[in-house]
Amino acid sequence: MARRKTSLLASTPELIAKKRDGGRLSEEEIRCLVEGYVDGSVTDYQMAAMAMAIFFQGMTPAETTALTLAMRDSGDVLDLRSVKGTKVDKHSTGGVGDKVSLCLAPWVAACGVPIPMISGRGLGHTGGTLDKLEAIEGFDVDLSVRRFVSQLKRIGCALGGQTARLAPADKRLYALRDVTATVESIPLITSSILSKKLAEGIDALVMDVKVGRGAFMKTHEDARALARSIVRVGNRAGKKITCLLTRMDAPLGREVGNANETREAFEVLNGGGPEDLIEVTVALGIEMLRLGGVAKTRAQARAKLDAALRDGSAIRKAEAIVKAQGGDPRVVTEPDRLTIAKKKVVVRAAKTGWVTDIDAREIGLSAVALGAGRTRADQAIDHSVGITIDAKPGARVAKGDPLATIHHKGNGKRIAPRIAGAFVIGRRRPKETPRIIEIIRR
């Protein structure tokens, strides 16, 4: 639908100066800036200057909401009113070994909540959901709007990527922030995340805000501030939002890569999988069922999730999604069908003791070096390579015991010392720490 071009009384340089000096921009001024950036009347260097001004001066909740909605409206906004039920999505700020979406989406959809999930690709040391889905041969993430909505109606879940017409202002602004040192701004992060999510036409969102060395937000305080900003702006935009703060010091689960992470996610739907992965997936699923209106209490939500796993409906939902999007549905119950690199290098403990810590960022960067990730958006990746964590924090190891297994195409020995250096082995068993740090609903 065509939108009326917003008129502006002040020039772009005046608005940059206003924000630079700590002033507040009006909704009209922000909308005009975003519209101008999309149509070219506001240049890259002007928007870069504005981003830097926002980085230093911040934005009020009203300004952040206005920026979020303007970027949402810079392109298409999906109309999901024809889909029955409360549409709920989940988003993660990114982590190492974070394959939660692959098992969470079909699991929650099997409980009766429609899941329109538009995800991204990995960049840097964190992986991307689309790359993991494409480890399934034939799986198509490039769904048209018509196909996306049709599948959501028919199956209750669709997993796709961002189209060029979905929040295009955010796509351009994010690329600009990435090269102008203005990424670490809570108002800009908030508007970037929510503009894309609101353009999906969702009713509610559950956010997984990662905290720790392997996460974008390194401290609890910064993660809490981001979570509160997302909840506040989402509520102002008329959406129900819940944020979970989860630990990302060590990798989540045992697998890091693409095919091997997809395999591990399907193991969860088959009743297996590592405890930490299950803990985070269930916690997010509980909040999605509550926001989706199919459970009033945490106990009811947990019971529904358990039932969907027990009666096989979660597996059947995953099979239906994979089949609808061109993949072989047999991979859900037979995850070993996914192709894993055959060459292996085992990283062994240099001494006896307890694994007290694993540096998630180093593991993630090692996976990128293997070819499982990318440092530029246009890079191709190898879905078959990756790392299996054989000894998680809290494990007792003897000298020579396996710490990790590298699945590679020829460069495993070169990367092995870096992976070995990510493990800390101490004399005492570390205290167990829950993955869920805090739940923020307002």
Q: Which of these is catalytic: 192, 229, 366, 384?
A: 192
Complete DSSP assignment for 47-112: HHHHHHHHHHH---HHHHHHHHHHHHTTS-----TTS-S--EEEEE---TT--HHHHHHHHHHTTT
353 membership: H or E segment, kind and range: strand 353-358
For position 273, what pLDDT does the model report? 96
Hey, which residues does 210 pair with through a beta bridge?
Answer: 246
184-207: per-residue pLDDT in tens?
899 999 999 999 999 999 999 999
pLDDT exceeds cutoff 60 at 5: no
Q: Which of these is catalytic: 121, 125, 171, 177?
A: 177
Active site residue 98: no
Active site residue 91: yes
Across all residues in the chain, what is the average pLDDT? 94
- Banded pLDDT at 380 (limits 50, 70, 90): confident
3-state DSSP percent of the chain in helix, strand and coil, to 5: 45, 15, 40
Q: For the chain, give me the number of helices (H) and strands (E)?
A: 17, 13
CATH class, range 88-335: alpha beta
Which range is least confidently modeled, 167-171, 203-207, 339-343? 167-171
Instruction: Give CA–CA dist 79/90, Å, rounded.
Output: 18
The amino acid at residue 402 is P
Q: Which of these is catalytic: 18, 91, 171, 197?
A: 91
Active site residue 337: no
Spatial contact of 126 and 95, defined as CB atoms under 8 Å apart: yes
For position 1, what pLDDT does the model report? 42
| Residue ranges per structural domain of the chain | 12-58, 88-335, 339-426
106-131: per-residue pLDDT in tens?
999 999 999 999 988 876 777 789 99
Instruction: Give CA–CA dist 310/32, Å, rounded.
Output: 53
Contacts of 65 (CB under 8 A, 6+ apart): 233, 236, 237
Hey, which residues does 118 pair with through a beta bridge?
Answer: 160
Hey, which residues does 17 pair with through a beta bridge?
Answer: none
Q: Which of these is catalytic: 196, 213, 247, 304?
A: 196
Same topology for domains 12-58 and 88-335, yes or no? Answer: no
Active site residue 144: no
For position 2, what pLDDT does the model report? 44
- Banded pLDDT at 163 (limits 50, 70, 90): confident
Active site residue 196: yes
Exposed / middle / buried, residue 20 (Cβ in 10 Å: 0-12, 13-18, 19+): middle
Hey, which residues does 159 pair with through a beta bridge?
Answer: 117
Q: Is 393 helix (H, G, I), strand (E, B) or coil?
A: coil
Task: Single out the residue of 257, 254, 251 nearest to residue 371, CA to CA.
Answer: 257
Instruction: Give CA–CA dist 442/44, Å, rounded.
Output: 35
Q: Which of these is catalytic: 89, 131, 170, 203?
A: 170
Provide the CATH number for the domain formed by 12-58 in this structure: 1.20.970.10
Q: pTM for this one?
A: 0.93
- Banded pLDDT at 374 (limits 50, 70, 90): confident
How many Cβ atoms are within 10 Å of 436's Cβ, its own excluded? 15
Tokens 């810590």 — which residue? Answer: 357
81-to-24, 153, 166, 167, 216 alpha-carbon distances in Å: 35, 11, 18, 19, 34
Domain 339-426 coded CATH 3.90.1170.30: yes
